[in-house]
């Protein structure tokens, strides 16, 4: 089974690193802008068989906005990512979402907050409300520490196959090196409290 997945978000939020972490286990520290879109496949073994995500890593720079609509055509699912250390990257989420569903209105969407390992977090969990307004799945994660980094794929697999019993039987992604000293800032209690915070008017 193969599905087209588009990965969207501003430049530098960690989209390419996220894909490469799953494919090779390596964490790409140096930021190099994607030109247009990079296409690669991330595969998982599940209790329902092999599932392959054809990942379209779409450039986030303004100079490529005129080409992005074409990448969304026939997308089965999408991950829209922002960086918790950049308020601007979160503010742009509605624009990415609007443009995506204009082309592919039935696409399955996950919103992901990346880089929760950073001490310089600017976007607090309680401030993230866009997914609640639009009834979208949301995960806080870190590509660097691998906190929750397979959750978006697992959710999309269940949604696309319409089966909540689908689960990964083994991880295809390599075990990431050098994560012992990374400070985990993901706090489940804070996250749960944020989910129950009333939405602003």
CATH number at residue 113: 3.40.50.300
**Does any domain span residue 87?**
yes
The SS3 of residue 63 is helix
**Does any domain span residue 56?**
yes
Which string of b and e fits 65-93 if b means at least 16 CB within 10 Å? eeebeebbeebbbbbbbbbbbbeebbebb
- The count of structural domains within the chain is 1
**Whole-number Å distance between alpha carbons of 108 and 36:** 22
Task: Find the domain containing 127 and state its range.
Answer: 2-195
Cα separations in angstroms, 105 against 78, 100, 191: 11, 7, 29
**Does any domain span residue 25?**
yes
Cα separations in angstroms, 44 against 10, 79, 180: 27, 17, 25
Give the pLDDT score at 141: 93
39 bridge partner residues: 56
DSSP percent split of the chain into helix, strand, coil, nearest 5:
30, 25, 45
Give the pLDDT score at 183: 43
- 8 Å CB contact between 85 and 122: yes
**Does any domain span residue 104?**
yes
**Does any domain span residue 169?**
yes
Tens digit of each residue's pLDDT, the chain (201 residues): 999 999 999 988 989 888 988 887 665 655 455 556 788 899 999 998 999 999 998 876 544 444 567 889 999 999 999 999 999 999 999 999 999 999 999 999 999 999 998 888 999 988 999 999 999 999 999 988 888 989 999 999 999 999 999 998 875 445 455 544 444 445 566 656 666 666 655
**Does any domain span residue 201?**
no
**Does any domain span residue 173?**
yes
Looking up tokens 């969407």 gives 109
**Does any domain span residue 200?**
no
């Amino acid at each position: 089974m193969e599905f087209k997945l588009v990965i969207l978000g501003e430049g530098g939020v960690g989209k390419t690193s996220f894909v490469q972490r799953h494919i090779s286990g390596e964490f790409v520290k140096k930021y190099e802008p994607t030109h247009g879109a990079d296409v690669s496949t991330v595969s998982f073994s599940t209790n329902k068989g092999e599932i392959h995500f054809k990942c379209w890593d779409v450039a986030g720079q303004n100079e490529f906005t005129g080409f992005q609509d074409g990448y969304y055509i026939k997308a089965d699912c999408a991950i829209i990512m922002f960086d918790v250390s950049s308020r601007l990257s979160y503010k742009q989420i509605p624009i990415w979402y609007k443009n995506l569903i204009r082309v592919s209105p039935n696409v399955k969407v996950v919103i992901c907050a990346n880089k929760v390992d950073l001490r310089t977090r600017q976007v607090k969990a309680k401030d993230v409300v866009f997914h609640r307004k639009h009834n979208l799945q949301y995960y806080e994660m870190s590509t660097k520490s691998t906190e929750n980094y397979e959750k978006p794929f697992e959710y999309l697999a269940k949604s696309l196959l319409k089966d909540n019993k689908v689960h990964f039987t083994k991880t295809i992604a390599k075990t990431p090196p050098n994560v012992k000293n990374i400070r985990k800032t993901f706090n489940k209690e804070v996250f749960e409290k944020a989910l129950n915070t009333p939405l602003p008017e």
